[in-house]
Amino acid sequence: MADSGTYVIDETREACEMQAKYLELIAACRALKPLTSDEEQGILRAYTMAREAHAGTRRKSGEPYIFHPLAVALIAVKEVGLGPTAVMAALLHDVVEDTDITLDELRMVFGDRVAKIVDGVTKIDDVMLMQQTESKQAENYRKILLSMCNDAYVIFLKLCDRLHNMRTLGSMKDTKKLIIASETSYLYIPLAHRLGLYSIKTELEELVMRYTNPEKYAEIEAKIAATAGTSEQLEECLIQPVRQMLDEAGFQYTLKTRTKSVYSCYKKMENKHIDFDEIFDLYAMRIILKDVPREHEREECFRVFALISGKFTTNPNRFRDWISHPKNNGYESLQTTVMTPINRWVEIQIRTERMDVIAEKGMAAHFLYKEAHPEEHIENNPVEEWLQQIRTSLEQSDKSALDLVEEFKESLYTKEIYLFTPHGKTITLPSHSTVLDFAYAIHTNLGNHCIGAKVNARVVGRSERLHTGDQVQVLSTENTKPTEEWLNECLTPHAREAIKDALRARRKEFVAEGKRRLAEYLAKMRMRNNPQNFGQLKRYLSQPSDIDLYYDIAVGNITERQVAECFGKVRPAPSFFFHETQTTPFLLDQEYENYPTETAPCCKPVQGDQVVGIVQGDRIMVHRTGCKVAMDEMANHENHVVRAKWRPGEQLSLLTGITLTAIDRKGLLQEITRHISDELDLNMRAITLEASEGVAHGIIMLYVNDVENLNGLISKLKSIDGVEDVRRI
Ligand code: MN
Q: 92 CA to middle of ligand 1, Å?
A: 9
- The closest of 459, 516, 193 to 331, measured between CA atoms, is 193
> What angle is formed at CA 19 by the lines to CA 16 and CA 24, rounded to 5 degrees?
125
CA–CA gap between residue 423 and residue 65 (Å, rounded):
61
Average pLDDT score over residue span 316-325? 83
Distance between first and last Cα of the chain: 76
Q: What angle do CA 648, 652, 656 make, to 5 degrees?
A: 115
Predicted pLDDT at 638: 61
For the chain, the C-alpha Rg in angstroms (whole number) is 36
Q: At what angle do helices 84-92 and 152-167 cross, to 10 degrees?
A: 50
How many other CB atoms are there within 10 angstroms of residue 688's CB atom?
Answer: 9
Ligand 1 center to residue 206 CA distance, Å?
A: 20
- pLDDT > 90 fraction of the chain, expressed in percent and rounded: 28
pLDDT top residue among 48 and 394 = 48
Mean pLDDT value across residues 625-653: 71
Dist CA 437 CA 614 (whole Å)? 42
pLDDT level of residue 400 (50, 70, 90 thresholds) = low
Strand partners of residue 641: 614
Q: Which of 3, 10, 52, 98 is catalytic?
A: 98
Q: Convert the pLDDT of each residue in 512-543 to its tens digit.
A: 889 999 999 999 888 888 888 898 898 888 88
Fold that domain 221-361 belongs to in CATH: Beta Polymerase; domain 2 (3.30.460)
Query: Phi/psi of residue 259, each to 5°?
Result: -105, 140
Distance 161 CA to ligand 1 centre (A): 5
Q: What pLDDT, on a 0 to 100 scale, did the predictor assign at position 391?
A: 75
Task: Identify whether 291 is a catalytic site residue.
Answer: no
Model confidence pLDDT, tens digit, residues 566-621: 888 765 444 443 333 446 778 777 777 777 888 888 788 887 778 888 888 778 88
Type of residue numbered 535: G
Specify the higher pLDDT residue, 329 or 183. 183
Ligand 1 centroid – CA 640 distance (Å): 43
Q: Which residues of 156-293 form beta strands (DSSP E)?
A: 253-259, 283-289
Kindly tell me the burial class for residue 497, based on how many C-beta atoms sit within 10 Å of its own C-beta (0-12, 13-18, 19 or more): middle
CA of 127 to the centre of ligand 1 (A): 15
Q: CATH assignment of 654-728?
A: 3.30.70.260
- 409 CA → ligand 1 middle, Å: 22
pLDDT of residue 288: 96
281 given a catalytic annotation: no
Residues whose CB falls within 8 Å of the CB of residue 85, separated by 6 or more in sequence, listed in order: 113, 114, 117, 153
Hey, which bits of 389-538 come out as E strands? 416-420, 426-430, 450-455, 458-461, 472-476
> Where does 431-566 have alpha helices with state H?
435-442, 444-448, 493-508, 511-524, 531-540, 546-555, 560-566
Quick one: CA dihedral 610, 613, 614, 618, positive or negative?
Answer: positive
Distances in Å between the alpha carbon of 615 and those of 136, 548, 550, 589, 618? Answer: 22, 27, 29, 12, 7
Taking the centre of ligand 1 as the mean of its atom positions, its distance from the CA of residue 129, in whole angstroms, is 15
Q: How many residues does the chain have?
A: 729
> How far apart (Å, rounded) are the C-alpha atoms in residues 443 and 450?
11
Ligand 1 centroid vs 165 CA: distance in angstroms? Answer: 7
Q: Which H, E and C letters describe 313-344, residue by residue? A: EECHHHCEECCCCCCCCCCCCEEEEEECCCCC
pLDDT exceeds 50 at position 74: yes
- What residue ranges do the domains of the chain occupy? 11-197, 221-361, 508-566, 581-646, 654-728
Predicted pLDDT of residue 24: 96
Ligand 1 centroid to residue 168 C-alpha, Å: 12
Q: Convert the pLDDT of each residue in 436-494 to its tens digit.
A: 999 999 999 999 999 889 888 788 889 998 887 788 999 888 888 898 889 989 988 78
Pick the residue with more confidence: 141 or 208? 208
Alpha-carbon span 721 to 696, nearest angstrom:
13
Q: Given 97, 501, 721, 724, which residue is catalytic?
A: 97
The Cα-based distances of 312 to 21, 242, 338, 426 in angstroms read 48, 10, 6, 32
Residue 410 CA, ligand 1 centroid: distance in Å: 26
Q: Given the DSSP bridges, would you call strands 426-430 and 416-420 parallel, antiparallel or unpaired?
A: antiparallel
The DSSP annotation for 391-413 comes to HHHHHH----HHHHHHHHHHHHT
**What confidence score (pLDDT) does residue 104 get?**
94
Is the pTM higher than 0.75? The answer reads no
pLDDT band per the 50, 70, 90 thresholds, residue 727: confident
Q: Identify the architecture of domain 11-197 in CATH.
A: Orthogonal Bundle (1.10)
How far, in Å, is the centroid of ligand 1 from the Cα of 158? 8
Cα–ligand 1 centroid distance for 126 (angstroms): 13
Tell me the pairing of strands 334-339 and 253-259. unpaired
State the chain's mean pLDDT as an integer: 82
Q: CA 537, 538, 541, 542 torsion: positive or negative?
A: negative
* Ion ligand 1 contact residues with beta carbon within 5 A: 94, 161
Q: What is the pLDDT of residue 577?
A: 38
Per-residue pLDDT tens over the stretch 96-120: 988 989 999 999 999 999 999 999 8
Quick one: DSSP state of residue 186? I
For 672-710, the pLDDT digits (tens) are: 877 776 655 566 666 777 777 777 888 777 777 777 777
Of residues 650 and 574, more confidence is placed in 650
Q: Residue 84 Cα, ligand 1 centroid: separation in angstroms?
A: 18
Nearest one of 458, 462, 453, 455 to 495, comparing CA atoms: 462
What spacing in Å lies between the alpha carbon of 93 and ligand 1's midpoint?
6
